[in-house]
Chains A and B, each alone.
Chain A
Amino acid sequence: MSDLPQQLINGLWQGAALALFAMGYTLVFGVLDIINLAQGATYMWGAFFAFLCVTKLNWPIWYAIPAAMVGAGFLAVLLDRLAFKPLRSLTSGGLVLWAGFIVFLLGAVGNLSQDIKWVTIVSGALIMLGGFVLDYRSGKPLRTREVPHLAPIISSIGATFILVSLAISQFGAQVSRFPPNLFPVKPYNVTAEAVISPIQVLVLGLSLGLMIILSFLINRTQMGRAIRAIAWSERTSRLLGINVDYVIAQTFFISGALAGAAGVLLGLAFNRLEPNMGGEVELAGLTVIIVGGMGSIGGAAIAAFLVGMIRVLSVAYIDSSFRDAFVFGLLILVLLLRPSGIFGRSKTVRA
């Protein structure tokens, strides 16, 4: 057990990154009551955005991290407009957006010659932009309906598949790595045996910083008040003149940016990027938000550290191949004993 301090440090920084991911998850759930299963795909794309910035544009990592967060944020907004918004209210702009998306996909993965490929991609993106604006400006939706419970989950599963296969077609299914020497590697000594590398310090520091910024945004700003108002009742917020669509887009942006940050940080820390990396963290993230209580941001942050510790300690002391089994064991245990989560308020819908 002499390496226990080391394992605790590992659990701490992995838990911090997991907390970023899970807070975005739980934020969207709190506001819209939907589980965005495509969050894992946003996380993966966040990591690859940073990868593209570093390898293709030769940006230093300090620019690549915020760029990846912004990229992932916009991706999450786009996902909302494609996968969730049409379920709430269908507009003609939404149809145009979808048409543009399909043209874009055709260009991105279709078997076309190089010139036509780029023309298709760009025209798809332009149609999408037009659809986006039309969708935002449309006053009268073609259809509004009560969202069936299962529809958003199913739709976000579909979105995950598209995003992951898109990444496979662009980067290949194999592991991509950041170029070496991006970061100093000499570890600091915390105690005699336990060390922490600079990248792990960065993960921990940035995660804690973003957590504080998020709690400030939610609790102290006008935007945060609007988000909380919509979470409480969308109808009332609309009556009070809150631009619900815009605030929902902001929520998705924050959630995506957090996922993207988690993706870059974990991608850097393990130096391992692959299109399927979202699936693993997604399942851990689901555990976190359930243990923390659905929709509770503080609960998610605490639960993330708990799950991070369990993951690290089970690898260190039991068997690495059963790591996820332990996480799921915790998930099922909490679901059965206290479905509202350890830190959840019983006011929220009971499972």
Chain B
Amino acid sequence: MFEFLSNNISTINFVLINISLGLSIYITLATGLLSLANAGFMAIGAYTVAIIQTQTHIPFSFGFVMAIALGVTLALPIGIVALGLRDIYLAIATLGFGEIVRIIALNGDKVVRLFSTNKDVIVFNGAEGITLAYKTPTIIFGLPDTTWPILIYCLVAIYILATLHNSRYGRILASIRQDETAASTLGINVARYKLFAFVLGSAIAAGAGALGAPIVRVVDPHNYVFSRGVDILAYAVLGGMTHWVGPILGATVLTSLPEALRFLKDQRDIVNGLIIMLSIIYLPAGLADPRVWTIPRKLFALLGSMRSSARNDSKGL
């Protein structure tokens, strides 16, 4: 058991980080918002921690709190202005935000130097990014001390979203996803709940980025490009956008699959793309859809009765 853990610790770390990220996009998707800003907020979290670690002597836990606080502070105004936009417009605006974050991370030093007396100051370090000092992790109960915070963070995020799912809030968010106009006629303050979902998602992403920084150790803009955002989207799409189990399943499958199928390593993007397309077309409710689990039984039934046409099979999907 311990041996398995220590041999696969990097995979486990990434699965946990990706589950948190998948949950962060799930909460917005569950409200019917396609926000592609998660990679941007992840970058904000990671850069906050990295800058605090390299520029000051403040402990990591404070940096983590700061990262989430910064994520929330930025998400609030952005959410207030951007959430007036509908589906594709919101997707495009948030995509623009993600790109702006990346451009700032890339050129942050130029901005810092404008306001600083020291004209050679290096904070963001451009495309090379910030490298964090390596510390040999201490093993606590079989897991290194970098993994524990992510595990706990992930469980807390799952707990929050699961509680939310079964509460009045969760039902309100689902009603906004299904029909915004109908929800507003029922007296639901749509704008407020959308903002709530957006800020919660951004905070989760910022926190995941912050906790991921000591694990990847090199915080550079390439880690947070659009394709990272698409990775995150793939977790939620494959897993399902209507239940919190979805992103957990999706992130676990998509993160551990390339490890299991090493020969696919070079074609990761193709496999990601195929999974996104096939699951949005043939599996619109994702792996977490209860109907998916009845497909094998239906297939047997189909094989049993020769009269069944392809029509019935497609209904199962």
Contact = CB atoms under 8 A, between A and B. Distances in A.
Interface of A: 35, 82-83, 86-87, 90, 92, 98, 102, 105, 109, 111, 142-143, 148-151, 153-155, 157-162, 164-166, 168-169, 279, 283, 286, 290, 319, 321-322, 324-325, 328-329, 331-332, 335-336, 339, 349-351
B107 interface: yes
Interface string B260-276: 00010011011011111
Contacts of B267: 109, 165, 169
A172 to B, nearest CB: 12
- In the complex, which range does the number of interface residues on chain B fall in? 35 or more
Contacts, number: 138
B96 interface: yes
Given A109-B270, A142-B314, A154 B237 contact: yes
25 contacts: A87-B281, A98-B278, A149-B32, A149-B88, A150-B29, A150-B32, A150-B87, A154-B237, A155-B280, A157-B273, A158-B273, A158-B276, A161-B269, A161-B270, A162-B274, A166-B270, A169-B267, A290-B92, A319-B107, A325-B104, A328-B96, A328-B100, A331-B96, A332-B97, A336-B84
Contact of B99 (A90, A111, A157, A324): A324
A336 B275 CA distance: 34
B230 A157 contact: yes
Given A35-B88, A83-B277, A279-B226, 8 more contacts: A142-B310, A153-B87, A155-B281, A166-B270, A332-B96, A332-B97, A351-B86, A351-B89
B269 A142 contact: no
Which 6 A-B pairs give the minimum distances between C-beta atoms? Answer: A161-B273, A158-B276, A351-B89, A158-B277, A162-B273, A165-B269
B218 interface: no
A143 B283 CA distance: 13
B229 to A, nearest CB: 9
Nearest to A286: B92
Interface of B: 29, 32, 34, 81-82, 84-89, 91-93, 95-97, 99-100, 103-104, 106-107, 110, 226-227, 230, 233-234, 237, 263, 266-267, 269-270, 272-278, 280-282, 284, 310-311, 314-315
Contact of B233 (A105, A142, A157, A164): A157
A283 B99 contact: yes
B269 A164 contact: yes
Contact of B277 (A143, A148, A155, A329): A155
Dominant SS among interface residues on chain B: helix
A169 B85 CA distance: 38
Contacts of B100: 325, 328-329
Given A142-B314, A351-B89, A161 B272 contact: yes
A19 to B, nearest CB: 19
Contacts of B237: 154
A148 B34 contact: no
A322 B85 contact: no
B273 A90 contact: no
A351 B85 contact: yes
Contacts of A321: 103, 106-107, 110
Nearest to A34: B88
A289 to B, nearest CB: 9
B87 A149 contact: yes
